[in-house]
Amino acid sequence: MSPPQEVSSMGKWTTLVGGLVGGWSFLKIPLEGTFLSFIDPVVDGVGIVAAVVFSGALIYYGVRDWIQG
Nearest to 61 by CA among 23, 25, 20: 20
The predicted pLDDT at position 43 comes to 93
pTM: 0.77
The predicted pLDDT at position 69 comes to 74
Domain that holds residue 57: 10-29+38-68
Q: How far apart are CA 48 and CA 31, in angstroms?
A: 16
Q: How confident is the model at residue 45 (pLDDT cuts 50, 70, 90)?
A: very high
63 located within any domain: yes
Q: Is pLDDT above 80 for 1?
A: no
53 located within any domain: yes
46 located within any domain: yes
5 located within any domain: no
Number of domains in the chain: 1
